[in-house]
Amino acid sequence: MSKCSKCGASVSFLNGSCIEIRGSDQSWVGISYICPKCDTILGISPDLMTLRDDLTEIVRSLHQRSDDGS
């Protein structure tokens, strides 16, 4: 269990909401974790399900590239 840095409430669960994380040339779907008591954003992490799909896509394109073989 963690504590909210703002209101000090013990946080046994967090509200999550989808956000977009923007990098310089790419963006990811992420989840922001919000204190259920005071709505402070306590953390942000990439959406693992979306990341997994992205990785699958990257691996697939790598395979296709090597299959071209010349």
| Binding characters for Zn ion, 29-58, by CB under 5 A (x = yes) | ------x-xx-x------------------
Q: Is 4 in the site for Zn ion (CB under 5 A)?
A: yes
Per-residue burial over 31-58, b if 16 or more Cβ lie within 10 Å, else e, is: bbbbbeeeeeebeeeebeeeeeeeeeee
Q: Which is nearer to Zn ion, 31 or 35 (CB)?
A: 35
Q: For the chain, what is the total number of helices (H) and then of strands (E)?
A: 1, 5
Residues that bind Zn ion (CB under 5 A): 4, 6-7, 9, 35, 37-38, 40
